[in-house]
A = this chain, B = another copy of it.
Amino acid sequence: MTGVLEVVAEPHRRLILTLLLEGEKSAGEIVAALPLSQPGVSKHLKVLKDAGLVTVRRQARQRLYRLCPDPLREIDAWLTPFRDAWNERLDALETHLDGMEET
């Protein structure tokens, strides 16, 4: 559970992050939105918080979670060379098509 990728590999956690795209949500709201028990959600929230993907703010008896997408840049960075690779494939395809056009 060290890397961001591993944290994000869990479907429920991805759901939580997607939910937080709408804005800050209380733990209770997140529980209501997930097919999971309250403790289950709470545990996922802890993992996300430890990974720096969310920040918490206390307001009265509630905990408000806010998305913090910065660590996802790590995934983006990892993806970069592969993005280049698939662009090369596209380039090759275009070159091929161009070659066909000439005939």
Give the interface of A toward B (CB within 8 A): 3, 5-6, 8-9, 11, 14, 17-18, 21, 67, 69-70, 72-73, 75-76, 78-79, 81-83, 85-86, 89
Some 11 contacts from A to B, beta carbons below 8 A apart, are A3-B11, A5-B8, A21-B82, A21-B85, A69-B86, A69-B89, A70-B89, A72-B82, A72-B83, A72-B86, A79-B79
Number of copies of this chain in the oligomer? Answer: 2
Q: How far is the CA of A11 from the CA of B5 in the complex (A)?
A: 10
Q: Which residues of B contact A17 (CB under 8 A)?
A: 82
Q: Which residues of B contact A83 (CB under 8 A)?
A: 69, 72, 76
When C-beta atoms are compared, the residue in chain B nearest to A21 turns out to be: B81
